[in-house]
Amino acid sequence: MQTFAKKRLDIVIEVPMLRRLLDLMDQLQVSGYTVIPAIAGRGKDGTWHREATVGDAGRMVVVQCILDEARIEAILKPVFQLVSTQIGIVSICDVEVVRPEHF
């Protein structure tokens, strides 16, 4: 089966920032994304667990989208500007897809 090279952008952010991030991605005409709850993790400030938080502050989600490589820089710069002042992680990796017209 033929596959096609794309980039996957993963953004880990606190729930209170989610609406702003999704609005920005809509403005940037990202064709699709998926929001996944982050249950637990470990970072430079130590270990955290979702059930140990009260309210949305401190609760984390992962927003994933797959992009054509030609668009990655135009999307990455404004996304990083939004996330850089908050708790969050932005990463990019190479992926292969079987339906390139979706991205």
> What's the pLDDT tens digit per position in 32-85?
999 999 988 877 777 766 665 555 556 899 999 999 999 999 999 999 999 988
Domains (ranges, CATH) in the chain? 4-102 (3.30.70.120)
User: What confidence category does residue 26 fall into, taking pLDDT thresholds of 50, 70 and 90?
Assistant: very high
Which range (2-16, 41-55, 87-101) has the least confidence? 41-55
Instruction: Give the global pTM.
Output: 0.85
Q: For position 45, what pLDDT does the model report? A: 73
Q: Which pLDDT score is estimated for 7?
A: 97
| Bridge partners (DSSP) listed for residue 37 | 61
Q: How confident is the model at residue 2 (pLDDT cuts 50, 70, 90)?
A: very high
